[in-house]
Chains A and B, each alone.
Chain A
Amino acid sequence: MEKTIAGKSITVNEEGYLTDFSQWDKTVGETLAAEAEITLTPRHWEVIKYLQDEHKNQVALSIRRIGKSGLVDIKEFYQLFPVAPLKTATKIAGIPKPASCI
């Protein structure tokens, strides 16, 4: 389905995740973050960039992997994205929701 984000028409799935990463830019990320009531700091952006890189390298994302990233530990990840961190952060990053149970 189409959704207007930051004045642009963006294709998202029924859960609001972007289906085409090429439509993502920082403004889109900021708008999606605002919807999740998160104000993005430079630290948030570092994590978002990491998630996008991992996705590009086809790494399956999980909470455990975030903890082993060397960039952010699990505690800080929950502080940055307090509600459902992996789901929220990947949505803001414009990448698919990880199908992970851990």
Chain B
Amino acid sequence: MNENKGTIKKMMIILSKGTLENVYAAFVLANGARMEGIEAEMFFTFFGLEAIHKKKLEHLHVATVGNPAMHMPTMLGGLPGMEALASAMMKKEMEKIDMPDVHEFLDILTASGVKLWACKLAMDMFHYKREDLYDGIDAVITVGDFYKQSEGEGVHMLFV
């Protein structure tokens, strides 16, 4: 923390989950960094890849099971259509507070200079191809490449 008096220069945000609330948290943090003059890069791995998968990114859901903060009995959360209902309600609330949808949010991030990286290992595992992904992705890279990107003073990493 002695370097630069602890000033944050760059945020490296790793998104490993594909639930709506996690995707939004990661996006808001990345965008918020840029708004403060902090650089930001995102690494999408495992289920986080869904947030940049063209066919999936508009169909992300909130988790209604195993999420105590939903204040919904687990049995009820598991009923068919429950996730879709909860997700639709949440999306409606988000629109009210001027939250962009996932695709528009990705457009905002790239326009703001956030670098977006897809994890090669997870791509291979899910059999995704580069053309399956959102066009604004910078590249498909390895974890080693991502660490290389993270070099420098005042760089912080965050795992979502």
Task: Give the number of A-B contacts (CB < 8 Å).
Answer: 42
Q: Is A1 an interface residue (CB 8 A)?
A: no
Residues B108 and A67 in contact, CB atoms below 8 Å apart: yes
Report Cα–Cα, A47/B34, bound state, in Å.
19
Q: Is A9 an interface residue (CB 8 A)?
A: no
Chain B residue nearest to A79 in the complex (CB)? B113
Known: A62-B98, A64-B98, A67-B111. Contact between A101 and B36, CB under 8 A? no
Q: Is A65 an interface residue (CB 8 A)?
A: yes
Report Cα–Cα, A101/B34, bound state, in Å.
11
Q: Mark B99-133, 1 if CB is under 8 A from A, else 0.
A: 11000100010011100000000000000000000
- Report the stretch among A14-22, A27-35, A48-56, A83-91 that lies at the interface: A83-91
How many A residues, CB 8 Å from partner? 18
B residues in contact (CB < 8 Å) with A = 28, 31-32, 34-37, 98-100, 104, 108, 111-113
Report Cα–Cα, A16/B126, bound state, in Å.
50
Residues of A within 8 A of B37 (CB): 83-84, 87
Residues of A within 8 A of B28 (CB): 101-102
A residues in contact (CB < 8 Å) with B = 60, 62-65, 67, 73-75, 78, 83-87, 100-102
